[in-house]
Amino acid sequence: MFHKEGFQIILITFVLVAAISIGAEYAFTNLYIQKGTQVVAIGILVLVLQFFRNPKRDTPIDDTLLYAPVDGKVVVIEEVFEKEFFKEKKLQVSIFMSPLNVHVTRYCMSGKIVFSKYHPGKYLVAWHPKSSEENERTTVVLENQTFGAILYRQIAGALARRIVNYAEKDTDVVQGTDAGFIKFGSRVDLFLPLGTPLKVNLHQHVKGGIDVIASV
């Protein structure tokens, strides 16, 4: 299964790869160059297909659990001052997604969207310390009775050129469902209340909608 945000790119890539593969038959008399060109073209198609894959995830609905919003590696766990919405100290958990990860963003908990804002910006590498403030990004605040208000931020990376955010203010959302997509390499920051009991460690690899970030 592939994410709907990738349908157009997959179609264009497929047409280009088909054209290159057929054209190589006529453009090159050397068999090695001919086949090499075709293998490279098919390899690009495979990379695009794997990037836009959208595996089905059956997320058990549980208000006491906070699931990972994306697939990737936990690269930051620290207390920071969140200055856009809360304007106070929060516990930040950041997950870095390589181009090989599934890039679907999922709601980490059920609740109501109380804030959703898009910020245009730069395309620094996603692990850069200033990427969360200077890169293209979206900020979403989700609230429920168990965890209170939590903020997650989709951040574009050096390769990413489009963030898709489905969260609309004043709507109710369900844990584990599709919250958006980030194309080609990125990061997601979570900002949680101080003292939230975490269930992940630094450098741990997590799967969105499967692995638990925190519980109460």
Q: Which residues are catalytic?
A: 186
HSE (side-chain half, CA atoms, 13 Å) at 4 = 5
Give residue limits of the domains in the chain: 4-51, 65-215
- 7-27 and 31-51 helices, crossing angle to 10°: 180
4 pLDDT band, cuts 50/70/90, is: confident
Percent of the chain at pLDDT above 70? Answer: 91
Q: What is the pLDDT of residues 65-88, one digit of tens each?
A: 999 999 999 999 999 999 999 999
Neighbours of 53 (CB within 10 A): 14
User: How far, in Å, CA of 187 to CA of 172, rounded?
Assistant: 24
Asked whether 72 and 155 are in contact (CB, 8 A), the reply is no
Residue % of the chain over a pLDDT of 90: 64
Q: Please give the Cα distance from 42 to 39 (Å, whole number).
A: 5
Note the pTM of the prediction, 2 decimals: 0.84
Taking only the tens place, the pLDDT of each residue in 89-147 is 999 999 998 878 888 999 999 999 999 999 987 766 655 556 566 678 899 999 999 99
Give the right CATH number for 65-215 from 2.70.70, 1.10.3710, 3.40.50, 3.30.70.
2.70.70
The residue with greater pLDDT, 6 or 101, is 101
